[in-house]
Amino acid sequence: MAGTTAGVDEREGSQPGLRRVIGPKLLLFFVIGDILGTGIYALTGEVAAEVGGAAWTAFGLAFLVALLTATSYVELVSKYPRAAGAALYANRAFGLPLLTFLVAFAVMCSGLTSAGAAARAFGGDYLAEFVELPTWAVAVGFLVLLALVNLRGVSESVKCNVVLTTVELGGLLLVLGLGAWALAQGTGDPGRALEFEEGGAFGLVVSGAALAFFALVGFEDSVNMAEEVEEPRRTFPRALFLGIAVTGVIYMLIAFVATAVVDLETLGGSTGPLLEVVRAAAPAFPLAVFSAIALFAVTNSALINMLMASRLVYGMARERIVPAALGRVHRTRRTPVTAIAFTTVLAVALVLTGDLEGLGGTTALLLLCVFAVVNASVLVLRHDRADHDHYRAPTALPVLGVLACLYLASPLSGREASQYATAGVLLLVGLALWVVNTLVHGGGREGADRRAAGA
């Protein structure tokens, strides 16, 4: 792989660098905006049903695990301040092409399961405030519509993300404000937010965190902006840690208010749990307004995930890691048409065979495995000395990160077998593409370069 890396560096060196226009505030909004979305708007009730009224503790544990992994990402992005990601870090650390591919494909699959969860949430109780249709039909139509938007071409700037983040964050602050007002008026039961379901509290919190982790993912995408950030070695640590802290605290407060204001049976049975909070806290508030905010948040999350997934498949096809046909570009739109079709078909299959909790849990499972590799990569790459100062995580943190991620990804966390089955089938699809490509073309950019040279 060393030769491949050198070749990539040489090709990239002949191209102009990206413009560094993202300052600390814009990066902070990007991190927060990437985390906000489907998880908290759709899965708060599922986590409460798992844990009990003290669901906020599960979000707290998920927040701590995310923070451990964030220390590894901060060290790696400040050490290698380039547009990259988990696959690059794994490749630098272990140099195993198949592992690098599996990490990249797992990240892509997490985008599909996340978009699938968003599609199921979109067709649930939030949309029911406007029209009632079969959830599966809405979810499939939703994904097809996203594919058409993706095919047409979507140009987004980080400054637009500030607006999107403000709307999503505004919806959560509205829930907190209305919930606090209702509790002050005697509505609800604050004591309920301190109660656990029957069983050991530790096991319940871990089981809830295994699902709640879905709400805390997204921050890892920010490392792909490294080449456009001003002074990334200084900016990233503050933005990443502060962004996760802000969202983590908001999520715990949301979970506390939700279970205090709404009974667990109603909350756990709703695909729009925060709508139930608004309904109980302020009956006179126009529910359609909040539903529109929630639908916007869910749509934005799903679109970002489908964009990411299709571009990852396109990138792997261009590098000859998967069949080159998946890298075909539309002649006029200049968008990766076959990659969009491929990822959309997989996402539709997921929404037809899975439910909201299962898809959210599978997303968390895939990313927990990826994060375990990233945390391990930090430790392996300690021997690779950088020629500049960079953030260095205390060694205990990535070690704890590996252990925590593996534990939450394991059956010990109470994770359902169906989530392993879904993740396994998706990774088998990736392995099949890898094997076919290797048998037909030799696999990877190195094989393509040898063929071009007449080897």
Mean pLDDT of 96-109: 92
Mean pLDDT of 63-88: 86
Give pLDDT, residue 9.
41
Please give the mean pLDDT across all residues of the chain: 86
What's the token pair of residue 189?
């039961």
Mean pLDDT of 8-12: 41
- 206 has pLDDT over 90: yes
Between 224 and 33, the higher pLDDT residue:
33
Task: Spell out the domain ranges in the chain.
Answer: 21-452
pTM to 2 decimals? 0.86
Give me the CATH code for the 21-452 domain, please.
1.20.1740.10
Spatial contact of 36 and 172, defined as CB atoms under 8 Å apart: yes
Spatial contact of 308 and 274, defined as CB atoms under 8 Å apart: no
Nearest Cα to 247, choosing from 29, 26, 393? Answer: 29
Spatial contact of 319 and 63, defined as CB atoms under 8 Å apart: no
pLDDT band for position 120 (cuts 50, 70, 90): very high
* Residues forming beta bridges with residue 229, ordered by sequence position: 22
* Other residues' Cβ atoms within 10 Å of the Cβ of residue 266: 15
Distances in Å between the Cα of 341 and the Cα atoms of 78, 136, 236, 248 are 36, 19, 35, 35
Nearest Cα to 355, choosing from 302, 301, 419? Answer: 419
**Among 177-186, 276-285, 328-337, 366-375, which is the least confidently predicted range?**
328-337
Give pLDDT, residue 449.
46
Task: Give the C-alpha separation, 168 to 83, whole Å.
Answer: 26
Give pLDDT, residue 12.
43
Give pLDDT, residue 227.
65
Give pLDDT, residue 144.
95
Task: Give the C-alpha separation, 204 to 209, whole Å.
Answer: 8
What does the pLDDT look like over 238-267, one tens digit per residue?
899 999 999 999 999 999 999 999 999 999
Give pLDDT, residue 161.
55
Task: Give the C-alpha separation, 165 to 169, whole Å.
Answer: 6
- The single-letter code of the amino acid at 140 is V
pLDDT band for position 180 (cuts 50, 70, 90): very high
Give pLDDT, residue 4.
37
- 179 has pLDDT over 60: yes
Give pLDDT, residue 444.
53
Indicate if the alpha-carbon torsion angle 83, 86, 90, 96 is positive or negative.
negative
Between 207 and 390, the higher pLDDT residue:
207
- 163 has pLDDT over 80: no
Give pLDDT, residue 442.
65
Mean pLDDT of 440-450: 55
pLDDT band for position 83 (cuts 50, 70, 90): low
Between 402 and 77, the higher pLDDT residue:
402
Give pLDDT, residue 57.
97
